[in-house]
Copies of this chain bind each other. A is one copy, B any other.
């Protein structure tokens, strides 16, 4: 087997030239084997025998049992010709088999040119797995790994990664299937050679990366044994038409434009209106009332002034420079106005109107993108509510202004979801840096936004609702980079077949295979939210929580019943309940009644005074072996809700002053006063909810998922 760096590219290129010359879209089995050889992918040994004696010698070299196959350019259907014998176990059988095959071949076609008989290794044992690479519409080259066999076909236990795949990622695939345990050896079976499997995944991944014209490579089955892995069958398909590459901008280009769009010095509103209820009126009001301090130029040929601001007939008439043009005119008028905005040197065109791709008018959409790009301008939309950027008091939208400043940037593909983001944020008092509608994503999409928010000091978390990705590979690569320092939360709508169908009739989004999305979003360090409310709660809570230093989670609860449900929630959210060492257990026991339970959860019992909560929480913060706390509160007369909330904030701030910060979440069980107490806690950085044990733990779990994938846990 050749070393990874020693791939025989000449051999592959020779074969591909041959395939191309013949106009074929698939490789023959021998070609497939040669490609495997060139990339160090092991296949069953085979040799050409030209006499019974050499067949016996070769079979002995390869190891019995073997398969014998006629080799003749004139015999295509070998089995029909009696030219294949399987499972020959002895030298005698091989010798006789050689003769039988030659006889059969001659009987079948007396004129056939006979080159010899192929002696091929017959693999009789090993765990069947599947390794493949394919070309995904969203993500381009991806590799797949799964167990073989009928059960797995039914259970669809397959995992995917972007190619090229690192060694760690390849190994994570082998661990990432539900039946991973089988490969480690069960019922006394020895484990398979996982390194060999990971190596095979990487070789396939390298192959399709080096030769993008390979549309599909399927090794199915691969037989994995304790000492290696061999691809028994190889199928390779070639794509004769190269894929269309999406338009790419450099990071620098994106930042230059996005900075002007998000922090504009001057904005023109094309279709500005003085008439209540018109979109062009709402946009004007929101810009003005939102407190935006830059220049605002209403563009309307029929008005002198709008909201006391001088109006212009055309953007060309505006004296100063303009960064952003917001379009509040019907779709059919957009191209001409866009030409003018481009000529004026605008960086961004915010296309609020619908009537483009989403209603089937793809031509018009392509036209406006071409116009924008001709002028070096980028388009946001079309078919959007606009966008907010609170550090600039910028509400460039027909919705209502939003002014609670904070570190969360959100985007949505759909207007309805954008409104839910706005309402939730206002209701929860969530500090937001930006809310951006991306709509049809004719041009600017999520990876552009990620690139801007990455460098934006006003943003510390990005949450995105999306129905598809126009360029999944760029998104994945960008998210992987950004998520190393800022959490990226994604709500991918159209997870299910029904949802995907709805998405395609809604925005024409192609939702793709959700398992592929799921695996690759995870590979990209993205925290995937299962639903809309989860996305919103993750966005709100994650930035408040300190980043944990390790996996040891401790539950401290006054309500034993909450402790049980919180424990269930920890398992559901991939959190590890710390095994409490004896000395720490003893330390907790000092503070709790004898019938309370130490261990984890630490059950301080319900009748306890504030001091018991305080002391145990302080211990949880103090002890370095504990990395995060989940609190379960039970409303009693002895420790009323606000007393609990205030003592928690006190002790947290006391430790914060000492430089000790750990993520703390809380579930409050009690009468309605727990609502006020939860809000107080939340405002002070403790993610707290009443009447639910699930939500606080889900937010902590999301924080952990991010911290793990960003490599922040020790």
Contact = CB atoms under 8 A, between A and B. Distances in A.
Interface of A: 147, 149-155, 178-179, 181-182, 186-187, 189, 277, 282, 354-355, 358-360, 399-400, 412-417, 419-420, 422-424, 426-427, 465, 467, 491, 493-499, 501-503, 505-507, 509, 530-534, 536, 555, 557-572, 577, 595, 597, 599, 601, 603, 606, 632, 634-635, 637, 669-675, 690-695
B567 A499 contact: yes
B358 A595 contact: yes
Contacts of A671: 399-400, 419, 422-423, 426
B561 A506 contact: yes
A420 B633 CA distance: 10
A532 B692 contact: yes
Given A423-B671, A560-B507, A571 B496 contact: yes
A402 to B, nearest CB: 9
A532 B565 contact: yes
A496 B532 contact: no
A423 B151 contact: no
A562 B414 contact: yes
B506 A560 contact: yes
26 contacts: A150-B186, A153-B187, A154-B182, A155-B179, A282-B637, A399-B671, A414-B560, A415-B559, A415-B606, A416-B557, A419-B635, A419-B669, A420-B670, A423-B670, A423-B690, A423-B691, A424-B690, A427-B672, A493-B565, A496-B567, A496-B570, A499-B564, A499-B567, A531-B694, A532-B691, A532-B693
Contact of A597 (B506, B606, B669): B506
A286 to B, nearest CB: 12
Contacts of A570: 496, 498
Contact of A499 (B502, B568, B597): B568
Given A497-B571, A533-B695, 17 more contacts: A151-B182, A354-B595, A355-B595, A413-B561, A416-B562, A419-B634, A424-B690, A467-B561, A494-B564, A495-B571, A498-B570, A499-B564, A499-B565, A501-B567, A502-B566, A506-B563, A506-B601
- Which 10 pairs across A and B sit closest by C-beta, in order of nearness? A414-B561, A416-B559, A506-B560, A499-B568, A496-B571, A359-B595, A420-B669, A533-B692, A531-B694, A416-B634
A436 to B, nearest CB: 14
A558 to B, nearest CB: 7
A675 B425 CA distance: 13
Contacts of A532: 565, 691-694
Contacts of A189: 150
A561 B493 contact: yes
A200 to B, nearest CB: 21
A606 B416 contact: yes
Contacts of A182: 150-151, 154
B153 A412 contact: no
A536 B419 contact: no
A417 B669 contact: yes
B565 A691 contact: no
A626 B614 CA distance: 56
Contact of A558 (B277, B416, B632, B690): B416
A414 B557 CA distance: 13
Given A153-B186, A634-B419, A635-B423, A498 B571 contact: yes
Contacts of A414: 559-562, 564
A426 to B, nearest CB: 5
A691 B635 contact: no
Nearest to A599: B505
Contacts of A467: 561, 564
A384 B17 CA distance: 80
A564 to B, nearest CB: 4
Given A155-B155, A506-B597, A496 B178 contact: no
A181 B152 CA distance: 11
Contacts of A599: 505
B561 A465 contact: yes
A531 B693 contact: yes
Nearest to A603: B506
B564 A506 contact: yes
Nearest to A576: B498
Contact of A416 (B178, B498, B534, B560): B560
Contacts of A150: 182, 186-187, 189
B179 A694 contact: no
A400 B675 CA distance: 16
B568 A496 contact: yes
Contacts of A690: 420, 423-424, 427
A542 to B, nearest CB: 17
Contacts of A595: 354-355, 358-360
Contacts of A400: 671
Contact of A151 (B179, B354, B412, B494): B179
Best-buried of A360, A422, A496, A560 by chain B (most CB within 10 Å): A560
A152 B153 contact: no
A365 to B, nearest CB: 14
Nearest to A359: B595
A498 B567 contact: yes
A634 B153 contact: no
Given A606-B416, A672-B427, A567 B187 contact: no
Contact of A561 (B417, B422, B635): B417
Contacts of A505: 597, 599, 601, 603
A317 B217 CA distance: 90
Best-buried of A149, A414, A564 by chain B (most CB within 10 Å): A564
Nearest to A151: B151
Contacts of A530: 694
A687 to B, nearest CB: 15
Contact of A694 (B422, B498, B533, B670): B533
A566 B427 CA distance: 22
Contact of A669 (B358, B423, B632): B423
Nearest to A532: B693
Nearest to A632: B416
Nearest to A501: B567
Best-buried of A503, A557, A577, A669 by chain B (most CB within 10 Å): A669
A61 B216 CA distance: 53
A670 B571 contact: no
A359 B605 CA distance: 11
A162 to B, nearest CB: 24
A635 B182 CA distance: 52
